[in-house]
């Protein structure tokens, strides 16, 4: 019975939207027909967008590796001071919305940068913002996705068997030789997986190429879809369905590489105490260096963002006489749409988080009951809407819900289409911590209960649920944060009165109201930081591996 429920849930959450997309792109009048796909592929704009997507995502992933890998090694393998704090800070870029990251960096490096101006280092007027275009997108993909590399590599490093390392050390190898000859080869699957994951995230990223590429007509597939749909309306749905299928295929190749790399992962030896190298007199210089990099990556742009949010008009230098809180008053109090966006993003994220938290426990139990092969397929299907770019899911949802449905009516132009998309997209995020926690409940506990006559529902409520409750709460918080900051899904699904924070920020920036956009961005970062601290406290009571930074 639970197994049937799980299959039903996966069908609704994953198979239905993606199947609809494929048919919209490839089936016309009931027959398979690839002409639209071929026509679309033949266009220069499509080819340029494909090339730009591959190019920025690939080099962005390499940059993310260059930033994330040293931190993973230092934090996982050494006695560097302040490791835990650095690990926590390094995860922040992942939790900050990409459009906020882009905005912050643009304010940091442009000719009107308040910070660079104060140092006399601002580029002269008439210099294009160095971040606009290809280079900037790659740079910020690197920053935004370095945490993904960091998490993946650290997970791999935690599994490196201590025995190998100790054997090498006692045979006289120095620490660097051990890293090079023992650890790196063992880590190779994780390195490939990390780069593949960062690549997939780049392919799906909308906020960064939207703010850095669109002003220069440098389009990736995600921004091309947005532009086509935004200026032509539903008439181009079949066309953009084809484009989103292309994104989906590129992302799937990335996911495939990642899965293949980790297949049969895990090492011959069991995990013991993790390896720790002493850094000796390098301890403090490396810690300081790490903090400096994090400071540059995270704090300088955020300070620039705050500076922009405090001046009356974009381009005005920040000084005591120009300082104003007016932008905050405008977006938080005066403008109905921004105040509403805080409310909308809040309640939609909360609903999605709560629903998924409740659903995750029976779903994880049901998954555990499936045959291993079926279980793997089901799990994979469920992860697709999260792994695939948000814009693909948004198009699928428009296709599913634009025309009125029996009983439901049309969901388009209601907030519920956004909620349904959030449920589809973040189900995998909610399920994972619960899955981890469930695996750690001794099976004999449930067997004992069953033997004493407790039915499945009773076992669920009295044993499994209480034990995995903290994990499901953690999953819910992750869902909440992701949905609260989200732009890609809602950019195409919002309607009158249902605007989300991501949409409002993007719209303010497009209307030339950069200072107000900055004020919204600062507030959302504040909310996320508070939630992360809550999650971190909660993390102390969770099994290891539930939260990515613990």
Partner 1 sequence: MRTLIAAGLLLATAISPVVAQEGKLVLYTSQPNTDAQATADAFMAKYPGIAVEWVRDGTPKIMAKFRAELEAGAPQADVLLIADAVTMEGLKAEGLLLNFPEAKAEGIDPSLIDEDGAYFATKLITTGIVYNSAATAIPAGWADLVKPEYKDQLAMPSPLTSGAALIHAVTLTGNLAEGWDYYSALAANGAQASGGNGDVLTAVSGGEKLYGMIVDYLPIREAAKGAPVKFVFPSEGVSAVTEPVAILASAQNTDNAKLFVDFLLSQEGQQLASDMGYVPARADIALPAGYPARADIKVLGYDAAAALANETANKEQFSEIFGQ
* Binding footprint of partner 1 on the chain (CB under 8 A): 45, 110-112, 124-129, 132, 214-217, 227, 229-235, 312-316, 322, 330, 334-338, 398, 402-404, 409-410, 412-414, 495-497, 499, 507-514, 516
CB of 52 to partner 1, least distance (A): 14
Identify the three-state secondary structure at position 32: strand
Q: Which is nearer to partner 1, 228 or 258 (CB)?
A: 228
Q: Which is nearer to partner 1, 75 or 420 (CB)?
A: 420
CB of 299 to partner 1, least distance (A): 22
Determine whether 127 is exposed, middle or buried from the number of CB atoms within 10 Å of its CB (0-12, 13-18, 19+): exposed
CA dihedral (56, 57, 62, 64) positive or negative:
positive
Q: Which is nearer to partner 1, 190 or 401 (CB)?
A: 401
Q: Which is nearer to partner 1, 277 or 506 (CB)?
A: 506
CB of 178 to partner 1, least distance (A): 49
Cα–Cα distances (Å) from 457 to 304, 359, 442, 472, in that order, read 53, 14, 18, 18
- CA 493, 498, 500 angle in degrees (round to 5)? 80
CB of 341 to partner 1, least distance (A): 11
What number of H helices and E strands is found in the chain?
27, 2
CB of 252 to partner 1, least distance (A): 28
CA–CA dist 22, 245 (Å, integer): 7
Output 19-26 pairs: Cβ under 8 A, ≥24 positions apart: 20/396, 20/399, 20/400, 21/241, 21/244, 21/245, 21/248, 21/392, 21/395, 21/396, 21/399, 22/245, 24/237, 24/238, 24/241, 24/399, 25/238, 25/241, 25/242, 25/244, 25/245, 26/245
In 3D space, the residue among 48, 258, 242 whose CA is nearest the CA of residue 134 turns out to be 48
Q: Which is nearer to partner 1, 361 or 417 (CB)?
A: 417
CB of 350 to partner 1, least distance (A): 22
Q: Which is nearer to partner 1, 106 or 246 (CB)?
A: 106
Q: Tell me the β-bridge partners of 32.
A: 27
Q: Which is nearer to partner 1, 398 or 446 (CB)?
A: 398
In 3D space, the residue among 237, 149, 159 whose CA is nearest the CA of residue 197 turns out to be 149
Q: DSSP letter at 111?
A: T
In 3D space, the residue among 531, 491, 527 whose CA is nearest the CA of residue 227 turns out to be 491
CB of 390 to partner 1, least distance (A): 18
Around 350, how many Cα atoms within 13 Å sit in the side-chain half-sphere?
6
Q: Which is nearer to partner 1, 27 or 323 (CB)?
A: 323
The count of other CB atoms within 10 Å of the CB of residue 30 is: 7
Q: Which is nearer to partner 1, 230 or 377 (CB)?
A: 230
CB of 343 to partner 1, least distance (A): 13
The single residue listed with the structure tokens 């089901």 is 378
CB of 100 to partner 1, least distance (A): 16
Q: Which is nearer to partner 1, 244 or 472 (CB)?
A: 244
Question: Residue 204: which H helix or E strand, with range?
Answer: helix 184-204
CB of 212 to partner 1, least distance (A): 12
User: How is residue 497 written in tokens?
Assistant: 């009165």
CB of 312 to partner 1, least distance (A): 5
Would you give the end-to-end CA distance of the chain in angstroms? 35
Q: Which is nearer to partner 1, 335 or 379 (CB)?
A: 335
CB of 543 to partner 1, least distance (A): 45
Determine whether 426 is exposed, middle or buried from the number of CB atoms within 10 Å of its CB (0-12, 13-18, 19+): buried
Q: Which is nearer to partner 1, 462 or 495 (CB)?
A: 495
Phi/psi at 440 (5° precision): -95, 0
Around 550, how many Cα atoms within 13 Å sit in the side-chain half-sphere?
17
Q: Which is nearer to partner 1, 107 or 459 (CB)?
A: 107
Determine whether 444 is exposed, middle or buried from the number of CB atoms within 10 Å of its CB (0-12, 13-18, 19+): exposed
CB of 407 to partner 1, least distance (A): 15
Which residues contact residue 303 at a Cβ distance below 8 angstroms, ignoring those fewer than 6 apart?
Answer: 108, 115
Q: Tell me the β-bridge partners of 78.
A: 277
- CA 326, 328, 334 angle in degrees (round to 5)? 80
CA dihedral (410, 413, 418, 419) positive or negative:
negative
Alpha helices in 158-236 (DSSP H): 162-170, 175-178, 184-204, 207-212, 221-232
Q: Which is nearer to partner 1, 352 or 492 (CB)?
A: 492
CB of 331 to partner 1, least distance (A): 9
């Amino acid at each position: 019975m639970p197994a049937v429920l799980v299959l039903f849930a996966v069908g609704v959450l994953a198979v239905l939207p993606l199947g609809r997309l494929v048919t919209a792109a490839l089936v016309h009048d009931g027959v398979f027909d690839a002409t639209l796909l071929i026509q679309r592929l033949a266009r220069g704009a499509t080819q340029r967008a494909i090339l730009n997507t591959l190019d920025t995502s690939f080099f962005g992933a390499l940059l993310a590796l260059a930033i994330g890998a040293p931190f993973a090694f230092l934090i996982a393998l050494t006695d560097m001071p302040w490791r835990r704090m650095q690990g926590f800070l390094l995860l922040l870029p992942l939790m900050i919305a990409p459009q906020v990251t882009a905005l912050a960096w643009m304010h940091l490096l442009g000719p009107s940068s308040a910070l660079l101006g104060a140092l006399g280092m601002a580029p002269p007027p008439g210099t294009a913002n160095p971040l606009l275009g290809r280079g900037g997108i790659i740079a910020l993909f690197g920053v935004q996705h370095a945490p993904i590399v960091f998490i993946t590599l650290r997970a791999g490093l935690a599994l490196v068997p201590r025995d190998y390392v100790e054997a090498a050390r006692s045979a006289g190898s120095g620490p660097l030789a051990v890293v090079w000859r023992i650890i790196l080869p063992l880590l190779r699957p994780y390195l490939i997986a990390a780069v593949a994951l960062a690549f997939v995230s780049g392919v799906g990223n909308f906020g960064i190429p939207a703010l850095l590429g669109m002003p220069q007509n440098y389009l990736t597939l995600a921004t091309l879809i947005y532009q086509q749909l935004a200026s032509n309306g539903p008439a181009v749905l079949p066309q953009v369905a084809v484009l989103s299928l292309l994104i989906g295929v590129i992302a799937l190749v990335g996911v495939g590489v990642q899965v293949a790399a980790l297949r049969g992962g895990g090492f011959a030896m069991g995990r013991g105490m993790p390896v720790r190298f002493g850094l000796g007199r390098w301890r403090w210089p490396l810690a300081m260096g790490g903090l400096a990099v994090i400071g540059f990556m995270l704090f300088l742009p955020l300070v620039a963002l705050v500076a922009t949010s405090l001046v009356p008009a974009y381009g005005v230098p920040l000084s005591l006489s120009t300082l104003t809180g007016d932008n905050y008053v405008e977006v938080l109090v005066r403008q109905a749409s921004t105040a509403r966006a805080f409310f909308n993003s809040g309640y939609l994220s909360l609903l999605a988080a709560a629903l998924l938290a409740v659903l995750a426990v029976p779903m994880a139990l049901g998954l555990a009951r499936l045959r291993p092969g079926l279980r793997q397929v089901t799990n994979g299907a469920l992860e697709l809407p999260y792994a695939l770019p948000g814009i693909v899911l948004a198009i699928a949802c428009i296709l599913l819900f634009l025309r009125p449905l029996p009983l439901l009516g049309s969901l388009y132009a209601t907030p519920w289409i956004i909620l349904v998309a959030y449920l589809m997209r973040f189900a995998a995020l909610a399920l994972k911590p619960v899955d981890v926690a469930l695996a750690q409940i001794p099976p004999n506990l449930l067997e004992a209960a069953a033997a004493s006559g407790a039915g499945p529902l009773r076992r669920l409520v009295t044993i499994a649920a209480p034990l995995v409750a903290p994990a499901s709460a953690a999953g819910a918080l992750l869902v909440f944060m992701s949905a609260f900051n989200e732009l890609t899904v809602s950019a195409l699904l919002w309607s009158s009165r249902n605007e989300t924070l991501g949409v409002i920020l993007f719209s303010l920036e497009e209307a030339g109201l950069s200072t107000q956009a900055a004020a919204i961005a600062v507030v959302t970062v504040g909310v996320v930081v508070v939630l992360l601290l809550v999650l971190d406290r909660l993390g102390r009571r969770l099994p290891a591996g539930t939260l990515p930074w613990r």
